[in-house]
């Protein structure tokens, strides 16, 4: 990462290069960002500004003089401006709206009604439309005029009837390759992917990857066109959703902000809550061990393999929950597949547990024979450890794979079945399994 180092250094030099600032940007502190932006030539600064996240745009806007702030706000497309307005403190929203030109202000007013994470909150109200009875040549001329007046992104032209209902779509490629004398309605596609205004952004993003589209129209329940979601906005959605899932899997709440720029206190709160919950759950291990205090006192050697056994269950559980949660996010696994998942994980648990059990058995028997560290009954101890490993790893793969599905069934977020949460669950049951096996096998010898 020495290139990040260099870029970061370059960004605070006298006349920074736009691309260097862009590369270094995510790793810059707030002060360095403000400085870098002020040192860039105005055109470059504007180029950079419009590609920032809404959160970053607000941070930058708040450092600007009113005149420049107004100019920069006007650079934003309506779907980006609405995100900025939503990020602003309530008392500053009025002023920001007033800074927009009349048309954008009206568009932003409409978009403010939607939640940020639904199709309506992602959509642009600027799109190109054509009438079905135009010839191809007429349509292209018409689109050229529209692009000029409208600043619309033209990947597709949408064909509407008199009531603004969406009846077809034609891509620029279709228009370009059609015979000039043909009519739009002859080349338009009438089977279209559309989304409702309140569709969740994760579902919208899945449609983009299923259909490989550049834009998807958003329609109301009467099939009237309200806006379009474009693929460049969806790229950020993919990253956001993956980041959220990864952070939850690691056992924290989703940060919703970059790791380095989130303030320390919210960072600690988002980690501390889960850490405390897991700690309270893990206290059950002390309670469980309380029941086996006499066994431990009689055979201290048993306590030596405790961490080995519970961590093996935790690791196999972490693998299973990670694989299943990701497969669920990609739409590969749902409730309907629970039995296929369970079958796989029973097989995996037995094979992987058997493997660890064999390694553990060999280790204890060999080491015990060579050094006599585990006393005369080391073969029996090796049996206890091996059997426990199979059972604990099997329990780990089952708990790790079924918990996300159960959470989903209960209407909760499957990603709450984080690796640490599954490990905690397996720790408590793993100790019970281990000492029960020991009580059974070592009765009359060590116990």
* Residues 397-426, interacting with a second copy (CB under 8 A): 408-409, 419-420, 423-424
346 contributes a contact to a second copy by CB under 8 A: no
41 contributes a contact to a second copy by CB under 8 A: no
CB of 181 to a second copy, least distance (A): 14
280 contributes a contact to a second copy by CB under 8 A: yes
What per-residue string of b and e applies to 139-155 under the rule 16 or more CB within 10 Å gives b? bbebbeebeeeeebbbb
Q: Using CA atoms, how far apart are residues 47 and 20, in angstroms rounded to an integer?
A: 13
CB of 242 to a second copy, least distance (A): 4
Q: Looking at beta carbons only, is 88 or 382 nearer to a second copy? A: 382
Site for a second copy in 200-239 (CB under 8 A): 208-214, 231-232, 234-236, 238-239
Q: Using CA atoms, how far apart are residues 323 and 352, in angstroms rounded to an integer?
A: 16
Q: Looking at beta carbons only, is 97 or 384 nearer to a second copy? A: 384
Task: Pick one of 427, 438, 441, 442: the residue that binds a second copy (CB under 8 A).
Answer: 427
252 contributes a contact to a second copy by CB under 8 A: yes
57 contributes a contact to a second copy by CB under 8 A: no
Task: Pick one of 169, 333, 399, 437: the residue that binds a second copy (CB under 8 A).
Answer: 333
Helix (H, G, I), strand (E, B) or coil at 129: strand
318 contributes a contact to a second copy by CB under 8 A: yes
The answer to whether 306 and 392 are in contact (CB under 8 A) is: no
Site for a second copy in 164-203 (CB under 8 A): 172-173, 176-177
Q: Looking at beta carbons only, is 132 or 281 nearer to a second copy? A: 281
Contact flags string 364-383 toward a second copy, x per CB under 8 A: ---------x----------
140 contributes a contact to a second copy by CB under 8 A: yes
CB of 98 to a second copy, least distance (A): 27
Q: Give the number of residues in contact with a second copy, rule: CB under 8 A.
A: 125
Element (H, E) at 187: helix 184-187
The answer to whether 199 and 122 are in contact (CB under 8 A) is: no
315 contributes a contact to a second copy by CB under 8 A: yes
103 contributes a contact to a second copy by CB under 8 A: no
Q: Looking at beta carbons only, is 94 or 203 nearer to a second copy? A: 203
98 contributes a contact to a second copy by CB under 8 A: no
Q: Looking at beta carbons only, is 93 or 326 nearer to a second copy? A: 326
100 contributes a contact to a second copy by CB under 8 A: no
Cα 23 to chain centroid distance, Å, stands at: 22
Task: Pick one of 12, 167, 308, 365: the residue that binds a second copy (CB under 8 A).
Answer: 308
The answer to whether 136 and 175 are in contact (CB under 8 A) is: yes
One DSSP character per residue, 334-380 reads -GGGHHHHHHHHHHHHHHHHHHHHHHHHHHHHHHHHHH-TT-TTHHH
**Residue at token pair 């519970």:** 310
- Number of alpha helices (DSSP H) and beta strands (DSSP E) in the chain: 21, 6
Task: Pick one of 82, 123, 356, 441: the residue that binds a second copy (CB under 8 A).
Answer: 356
20 contributes a contact to a second copy by CB under 8 A: no
Q: Using CA atoms, how far apart are residues 355 and 102, in angstroms rounded to an integer?
A: 70
**Residue at token pair 């338009």:** 188
446 contributes a contact to a second copy by CB under 8 A: no
Q: Which two tokens stand for residue 227?
A: 């806006």
CB of 305 to a second copy, least distance (A): 6
Give which of 317, 447, 315, 434 is closest to 383, Cα–Cα. Answer: 434
69 contributes a contact to a second copy by CB under 8 A: no
């Amino acid at each position: 990462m020495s290139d990040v180092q260099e870029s970061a250094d370059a960004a605070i030099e006298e006349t920074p290069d736009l691309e260097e600032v862009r590369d270094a940007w995510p790793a810059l502190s707030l002060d360095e960002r403000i400085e870098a932006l002020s040192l860039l030539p105005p055109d470059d600064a504007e180029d950079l500004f419009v590609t920032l996240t809404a959160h970053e745009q607000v941070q930058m806007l708040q450092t600007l003089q009113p005149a420049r702030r107004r100019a920069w706000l006007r650079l934003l497309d309506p779907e980006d401006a609405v995100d900025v307005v939503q990020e602003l403190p309530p008392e500053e929203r009025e002023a920001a709206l007033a800074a927009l030109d009349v048309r954008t202000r009206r568009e932003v007013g409409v978009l403010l009604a939607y939640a940020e994470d639904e199709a309506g909150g992602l959509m642009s109200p600027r799109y190109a439309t054509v009438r079905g009875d135009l010839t191809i040549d007429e349509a292209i001329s018409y689109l050229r005029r529209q692009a000029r007046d409208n600043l619309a992104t033209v990947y597709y032209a949408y064909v509407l009837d008199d009531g603004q209902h969406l009846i077809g779509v034609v891509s620029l490629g279709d228009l370009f390759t059609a015979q000039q004398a043909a009519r739009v309605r002859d080349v338009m596609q009438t089977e279209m992917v559309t989304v409702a205004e309140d569709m969740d952004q994760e579902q919208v993003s899945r449609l983009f990857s299923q259909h490989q589209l550049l834009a998807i129209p958003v329609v109301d329940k009467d099939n009237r066109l309200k806006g379009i979601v474009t693929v460049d906005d969806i790229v950020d959605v993919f990253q956001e959703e993956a980041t959220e899932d990864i952070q939850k899997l690691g056992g924290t709440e989703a940060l919703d902000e970059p790791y380095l720029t989130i303030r320390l206190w919210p960072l600690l709160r988002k980690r501390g809550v889960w850490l405390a919950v897991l700690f309270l759950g893990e206290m059950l291990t002390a309670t469980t061990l309380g029941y086996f205090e006499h066994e431990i006192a009689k055979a201290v050697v048993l306590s030596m393999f405790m961490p080995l056994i519970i961590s093996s269950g935790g690791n196999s559980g972490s693998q299973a929950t990670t694989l299943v949660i990701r497969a669920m996010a990609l739409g590969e696994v749902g409730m309907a597949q629970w039995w296929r998942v369970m079958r796989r994980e029973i097989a995996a648990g037995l094979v992987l547990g058997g493997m660890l059990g064999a390694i553990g058995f060999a280790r204890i028997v060999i080491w015990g024979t060579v050094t006599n560290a585990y006393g005369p009954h080391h073969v029996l101890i090796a049996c206890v450890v091996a059997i426990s490993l199979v059972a604990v790893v099997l329990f780990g793969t089952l708990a790790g794979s079924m918990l996300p599905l159960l959470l989903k069934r209960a209407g909760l977020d499957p990603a709450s079945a984080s690796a640490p949460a599954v490990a905690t669950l397996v720790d408590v049951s793993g100790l019970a399994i281990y000492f029960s096996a020991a009580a059974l096998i070592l009765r009359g010898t060590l116990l």
